[in-house]
Structure 1
Amino acid sequence: MKQSFLFLFTLPFVLLTSCKTQSPGSKDAKVRESQGVYQYRDEGPARSGTPTSPFYSDRQGVIGRNGMVASAHPEASQVGLNVLKAGGNAVDAAVAVQFALAVVFPSAGNIGGGGFMVYRDNTGNAYTLDYREKAPGKATQNMYLDSLGNVRPGLSISGHLASGVPGSVDGMAEAHKRFGKLSWAQVLQPAIDLAEKGFDLTQRDALALNRIKNDLTTINPGKAYFLKSISPTDTTTWHKGDLLVQTDLAKTLQRIQSQGRAGFYEGETARLLAEEMKRGNGLITEEDLKNYHSVWREPIRATYKRYNVITMPPTSSGGVALVQLMRFTEPYPLKKWGWNSDSTVQVMIEAERRVYADRAKFLGDPDFVKVPVDKLMSVDYLRSRWTDFSFAKATDSKAVKGGNIPGYESLETTHFSVVDKEGNAVSITTTLNGGYGSRVVIGGAGFFMNNEMDDFSVKPGVPNMFGLIGNQANAIAPNKRMLSSMTPTILEKDGKLFMVVGTPGGSTIITSVYQTILNVVEHGMTMQQAVNALKFHHQWLPDKTTFENGAFSDATIQTLQNRGYILEKLTNTLGRMDCVLIRPDGSYEGASDPRADNTARGY
C-alpha cells in the first residue's frame, strides 16, 4: 500500500516534466463528434510544455479513515472534527463549522450572510440547499442609480444599504432539522465557547482586522467591535496571539441555540438588526427577517467520463458554469498535452470566455426568471458555442455574447468540506460577499452584515465589484435572490463518493473549482497537489487572463501572446480551496489551501 501511494504522489511530477505536448490535430487527439461537443481540427502543434514548478507549496494532505474536515480556519476545522468524534454526522459537523467560522473567521464566516450546501448521503442520494440572501421587500431595481441613471459608487458595497436579508441561520436550521443527528444545542455550543472565551488570532487574522480599522470606525461610529481598544479612536493594533472575545456575538448565538431559527429571525436579534438598518438608512425590516426561508432545490447532476458531478443549481451560477466548462473540455486530451501547456490553457480559456458570457445573459433567481439550465448544458448548444474557436488565435470577447436560446433574454467567501465515517459528505460555500461584507456590525448583536446587493446587476452592462457583467435576469427585485458564483460540488467515481470540493474567490470560484477537479482527474495529482497547483482565470470581460506567478512557463506565455491572448500576472493568489478526496484504499485525503490559514483535520 505504501508503494502504491508513493506512486500516486509522484505521478504528477512525471506527467508534468516528461509529457510531450501533443498536436491538437494528432491521431490520438481525434474524437468522433458523437463522443463529445465538437471535433478537433488540425490547427498545428502546440509548441510549449508545462512549468517546471507547478505548485504554490509542497504542503501534503491530511489522511484519515473515520472523518475529515477542511475549512478556512484551524479553530473551525477542529470544531468540526470534535463533532465527528462525538458521534455527529457530516451535517452536524458542517453546521458546527458554519457557526464557528462566524466567530473565528469574520471576514467571510457568518451568520449575517448566506450560502449554498450540496449534501450526498452514503447511499448516493443528493440534496442541495439554497440559503442565499434576498433583496429586502423595499428594494427597487434602480435603488443604486442617480437621477441621470448612473450608478452611485459604493452604495452597493459598503454601508447599510448594501445588505440583503441573511440566510445562513435559516439554512443551518433547515439542514440540521432534516439530516442532523446530534442536538441543535450540541452543534451550537463550540461556537458559543469560542465567542465567549475568545480565541488566539493568527497572523492573518490580526493583519486583516488592522486593515479594516478605518472602515470600522467610519461605518460604525461609537462602536468598538473588532477594535483592540475599547475606544474607537485608539490606534492600538492587533497582533498574532491576541485574544479576541466577542461577548455580544456569544449572546446572539445563545439565542439561536435556545430558540432555533426564531432566535435570529424574530425577537431580540431581529429587533437589533432592524434598528441598525434604520439607523444607517438600510432597508431590511423585522418583517423581511420573519419572512425569509431557505429553499431545497434539485441538484444538478452531470457526467464527465467516469465521474458524476453533483453541484448547485441557480441561484448559484456555479453549477451550470462548471458543467459547461467540463463538457467543453471533455473531448480534448489534456492529460497528453500536459498541465498548463499552451493548448491545455487555450482550450480552458476559450471555454471560460463563453461560459461567463452565458452567465451574464441567462442566469438569475429561478423563482423570478426562467433559467434555461438544461439547454445551457446540452451538447448541441455547447457545440454551437464552439464554432468560432481556433487554435490559431484568441477569440475576441467583444465578439462573444451570451448564446442564442429562443425566448430568453469576491473575493471574500469561504468554503468547507466534510466527510464522516459513514461516507456522508457535505460541501458548503458561504459568504458575506466582500471581505467583512458591508463592514456594518449589528449593534448589540456583534456580527457583520453582508454586502450581497452588489451581486445583483445594479445596472445592466455595468460590472460589479468582481468585474462581472450582469443583465436583466439578475436585476434587483424585492425578495429576489442575487446571482452567485459559489460552486460547492461533490464528485462520484464509478458511482461511489470520490471528491468534495469548493473555494471562495468571487468570480474566480468557478474557474478555481474547475481547474482543481481537472488537476486530479486529468493530471493525476493528489487532492493536496491539486489545491497547491498554481491557477489562472478568465471571465469574458474584461478580456484578459490573470494567472498566479509561475502558473505558465515562459514558452507558454510567448505562444499565447502570439495568438492574441492578453495575460496579466497577479501579485496575489487565486482560490482558498478546502477539499476531501476518497483514496483507492478508502481513506480520506483532506486538502487545505496553503495560501491562507486553511486547515484540514481528520482521524
Structure 2
Amino acid sequence: MGNLNIKKSNYLKFLLILFFFIPVSCVQKRLGVNSNTQFRNGMVVCAYPDAAQVGLEILKQGGNAVDAAVAVQFALAVTLPEAGNIGGGGFMVYRSKTGENNTLDFREMSPAAASVDMYLDSTGHVIPDMSLYTHKASGVPGSVDGMVQAHEKYGKLKWADLLQPAIDLAGKGFKITKHLASDLNRTAAQFKKLNAGKSYLIKEGEWQEGDILIQQDLAKTLEQIRDKGRAGFYEGIVADQLVAEMKSGDGLISKTDLQNYHSVWRKAIIGNYKDYKIITMPPPSSGGIALVQLLKSVEKYPLKRWGYNQDSTVRLMVEAERRVYADRSKYLGDPDFFKVPVDSLLNPVYITARMNNFSWDAATQSTSIQPGSFVGYESDQTTHYSIVDSEGNAVSITTTLNDTFGSRIFVQGAGFLLNNEMDDFSSKPGVPNMYGLVGGKANSIQPGKRMLSCMTPTIVEKDGKLFMVVGTPGGSTIITSVFQTIVNVIEFNQSMQQAVASKRFHHQWLPDDVETETGALDSVTVTRLQSKGYKITNKGGIGRVDAILKTPQGYYEGGADPRGDDTKLGF
C-alpha cells in the first residue's frame, strides 16, 4: 500500500510539472480557445492592415482603447483615403471597463452660409451632383475635433505619440493593397477633372498592388495637428489652406465656421433585446433608434427556429425595416434643430402597433406604409473600427467622407480630401439622396445644423458585461448590416467572423426592393418571397462589418469583413 501511495504522489508531481511546461497554445486548444483568433489583452478590427497594426502597437505600449482609436483614425486618414479622414466626421460609442457609457458626435456641420434651397435651380428642381462633387458639397469637418475631445476625456498616452504613426505612414509611404489600387484607378479620371493643378493620389500609368503611396503634404498637415492639437487644423496654416480651397471653387466653409465647430457629447440610446443591452448612437445618427426599433420588432418571433436567411426570417426582417425607414424619413434629424420623438419611437407599444398590419399572405407595399403618428406630437463610403483593451474599455467608431473619396476634391497644399456630407441633408423633401433615402423637414438644410446619418456604432452587453462591439460602413445599409450581424450571433449562434462574413440583404422602405448580395438567399427562398410579392434585386457587397465578441472564457474574438482589406489583430 505504501508503494502505491508513492506512485500516486510521483504521478501527481509529473502532472503538475507537465502543466507548467505545456505550451499555452496547447492549453488554449484544450479549453476550446483558438490562439490565432482569440486574444486576452486587446484587439483592433479595422478596414486597413497598416492602421490595425498601428492600433495594436498603441495597445501594447499601454494605451487604452481610446488612445488606439485616435491613432487608428489618423492612420486610416492616410491608408484608406476612400473613407478614412481628417476632412470628414463621425460618431463614437464608448463603454468603460466599469460599464460607464458615453457617445461623441463629431458629425460634420452645415456652413453658416448654407441655405435650405441651395441645391435647387430657378424652377425648384435639384441640380444634379451639386451636393456631391463640388466645393459646396462639404460640411465643416469634425474628425480632428472629435479625436481631440475623445483623447482629452479618456486618453492616457501623449497626443503626439498617437499622431506619429500616421505621419510616418504618410511621409515614408506604405504598400497599397489590390483593393486600394483598384479604387484609385477607378477614380483617377474624376480626380484629374476636379483637381486642376493637383497630383494627389495620381500617378503615370495605373496603380498596382504593392506600390508605395507617399503623401508628403498630408504628412505636413498631420504634423500641424500633432504639434498644435485642435488649433493645428481649425486655425493656422491648415485652416488657411482649407478656406483658400473653398474660395477657389465657390465653396462655403469659412474661418469662422472652422473656429465655431465643436463635437458634442450626447447621451447614448439604450435598448434591450431579450437578455442583451444595446448601447448605441443617438441623433443626429438615425442608426441607434432604428437599430433598437428593428430588434424590438422581431424580438417575439422564433428566429432561431426559422434559421438564418430563411424565407420567414427574411420576410419578418424586411417588413420591420420597411416601417423603421419610413419613420426615419419624417422624425429623425439634428436634435439641436428638430424635436426628435425618441421616447415615442422606442415605445414598445408603438413598435408592436407598427407591425400589426404585417401579413404572412403577401408583402406589404411601401406605398401603403407611412411614418407612424404619436398623440400630441408636432413636427417642428464610410469606415468603421472596433477596439477593446486589456482592461475591458471598448470603443466603436464609424467615420466617413460620405461617398467613396468624398467629394473627390483635395485641399491644395494640405493633401486631404473634402467630404460631401451635405448630400445627407434633404435637398428637397421627397427627393432621394445618393443612397436613395428620402427625407423631409426634420433633415432640411440649415446653417450650423448636422446632417442626418445612418452610422450605427454599437456596443452590446450581456449580464452587465461587455459582449460585442460592432459597426460598419455602407450608407443606408449600415443599420440593417449591424442589425443582421447582432441577430446572426445571438439567434443563429454564429461566431464573430461568421456573423460579419455572412451574406446580407437590405430594405429601406423606398425604393420598394429587397436588395441581396449574391448567394444570400437560395433559389427556393427567392421563389417563395417572389410568390408573396417581394421584389428581389441583386446588389454587390452590403456593408463591411468590423466587430469584436467577448467569449464566455474572457477572450476577444474578432470579425473582420472579407469584403475589403479589413483586418483583425490582437495580443
* Structure-1 residue corresponding to 2:144: 169
What is the correspondence of 1:570-585 to structure 2 with a 5 Å cutoff?
570=539, 572-585=540-553
* Structure-2 residue corresponding to 1:244: 213
Shift of 1:63: 1.6
* Structure-2 residue corresponding to 1:78: 53
Is residue 591 of structure 1 aligned with residue 566 of structure 2? no
d(CA) in 1 for partners of 2:213, 2:39: 31
d(CA) in 2 for partners of 1:221, 1:176: 37
Is residue 319 of structure 1 aligned with residue 294 of structure 2? no
Is residue 97 of structure 1 aligned with residue 66 of structure 2? no
d(CA) in 2 for partners of 1:317, 1:5: 39
Shift of 1:197: 0.4
Is residue 207 of structure 1 aligned with residue 175 of structure 2? no
Shift of 1:62: 2.5
Is residue 259 of structure 1 aligned with residue 228 of structure 2? yes
* Alignment CA distance shift 1:109-1:424 (3 Å): same
Shift of 1:4: 6.7
SS at 2:130 equivalent = coil
* Structure-2 residue corresponding to 1:217: 192
d(CA) in 1 for partners of 2:36, 2:495: 8
* Structure-1 residue corresponding to 2:514: 545
* Residues 415 and 428 in structure 1, CA contact (< 8 A), matched pair in contact too: yes
The letter of the residue matching 2:377 is G
d(CA) in 2 for partners of 1:167, 1:514: 26
d(CA) in 1 for partners of 2:116, 2:74: 32
d(CA) in 1 for partners of 2:564, 2:81: 14
* Residues 491 and 498 in structure 1, CA contact (< 8 A), matched pair in contact too: yes
d(CA) in 2 for partners of 1:377, 1:4: 41
The letter of the residue matching 1:186 is D
Shift of 1:2: 4.0
The letter of the residue matching 1:574 is I
Percent identical across equivalent pairs? 60
d(CA) in 2 for partners of 1:441, 1:363: 31
Shift of 1:175: 0.1
Of residues 297, 300, 309, the one that matches 1:331 is 300
Is residue 408 of structure 1 aligned with residue 378 of structure 2? yes
Shift of 1:396: 0.6
d(CA) in 2 for partners of 1:61, 1:147: 61
The letter of the residue matching 1:187 is L
Count of aligned pairs: 542
* Residues 70 and 418 in structure 1, CA contact (< 8 A), matched pair in contact too: yes
* Residues 198 and 244 in structure 1, CA contact (< 8 A), matched pair in contact too: yes
* Residues 61 and 527 in structure 1, CA contact (< 8 A), matched pair in contact too: no
d(CA) in 2 for partners of 1:180, 1:213: 38
Moved more, 499-508 or 572-581: 572-581
SS at 1:273 equivalent = helix
Deviations 1:192-229 (A, max 9, x none): 00001000111111111111111111111011111114
Larger radius of gyration: 2
Is residue 459 of structure 1 aligned with residue 428 of structure 2? yes
* Structure-2 residue corresponding to 1:419: 388
The letter of the residue matching 2:570 is G
Shift of 1:369: 0.2
Deviations 1:349-382 (A, max 9, x none): 0000000000001000000000001110111111
The letter of the residue matching 1:474 is N
Is residue 188 of structure 1 aligned with residue 167 of structure 2? no
d(CA) in 1 for partners of 2:271, 2:30: 34
d(CA) in 1 for partners of 2:42, 2:361: 48
* Residues 61 and 528 in structure 1, CA contact (< 8 A), matched pair in contact too: no
The letter of the residue matching 2:418 is M
* Residues 61 and 592 in structure 1, CA contact (< 8 A), matched pair in contact too: no
* Structure-2 residue corresponding to 1:399: 368
* Residues 61 and 590 in structure 1, CA contact (< 8 A), matched pair in contact too: no
Of residues 277, 283, 308, the one that matches 2:246 is 277
Shift of 1:530: 0.2
Deviations 1:158-192 (A, max 9, x none): 12110000000000000000000000001001000
The letter of the residue matching 1:447 is F
SS at 1:369 equivalent = coil
d(CA) in 2 for partners of 1:379, 1:240: 51
* Structure-2 residue corresponding to 1:563: 532
Deviations 1:288-324 (A, max 9, x none): 0010000000001111111000000001000000000
* Structure-2 residue corresponding to 1:511: 480
SS at 2:167 equivalent = helix
Moved more, 357-366 or 556-565: 556-565
Is residue 298 of structure 1 aligned with residue 273 of structure 2? no
SS at 1:212 equivalent = helix
d(CA) in 2 for partners of 1:342, 1:207: 36
SS at 2:140 equivalent = coil
Of residues 154, 160, 171, the one that matches 2:129 is 154
* Structure-1 residue corresponding to 2:568: 600
Is residue 64 of structure 1 aligned with residue 39 of structure 2? yes
Q: TM-score, normalised by structure 2?
A: 0.94
* Structure 1 gap segments, 5+ residues each: 10-59, 230-235
d(CA) in 2 for partners of 1:270, 1:374: 40
Shift of 1:61: 7.6
The letter of the residue matching 2:406 is G
d(CA) in 1 for partners of 2:251, 2:210: 36
d(CA) in 2 for partners of 1:386, 1:301: 21
d(CA) in 2 for partners of 1:513, 1:260: 33
Deviations 1:557-597 (A, max 9, x none): 11111111111122x11111110000111010011001110
* Alignment CA distance shift 1:461-1:513 (3 Å): same
SS at 1:127 equivalent = strand
Deviations 1:516-565 (A, max 9, x none): 00000000000000011110000000001011111112111111111111
What is the correspondence of 1:39-58 to structure 2 with a 5 Å cutoff?
none
* Structure-2 residue corresponding to 1:13: none
Structure scoring higher RCO (CA < 8 A, sep ≥ 6) equals 1
Shift of 1:269: 0.4
SS at 2:349 equivalent = helix
* Structure-2 residue corresponding to 1:232: none
Is residue 144 of structure 1 aligned with residue 119 of structure 2? yes
SS at 2:569 equivalent = strand
d(CA) in 2 for partners of 1:407, 1:493: 34
d(CA) in 2 for partners of 1:476, 1:569: 33
SS at 1:497 equivalent = strand
* Structure-1 residue corresponding to 2:328: 359
* Residues 490 and 499 in structure 1, CA contact (< 8 A), matched pair in contact too: yes
Shift of 1:419: 0.2
SS at 2:439 equivalent = coil
Moved more, 399-408 or 307-316: 399-408
The letter of the residue matching 1:127 is N
d(CA) in 1 for partners of 2:378, 2:370: 13
* Structure-2 residue corresponding to 1:45: none
Deviations 1:42-99 (A, max 9, x none): xxxxxxxxxxxxxxxxxx9822110100000000000000000011000000000000
Q: What RMSD in Å do the two structures reach over aligned CA positions?
A: 1.2
* Residues 362 and 408 in structure 1, CA contact (< 8 A), matched pair in contact too: no
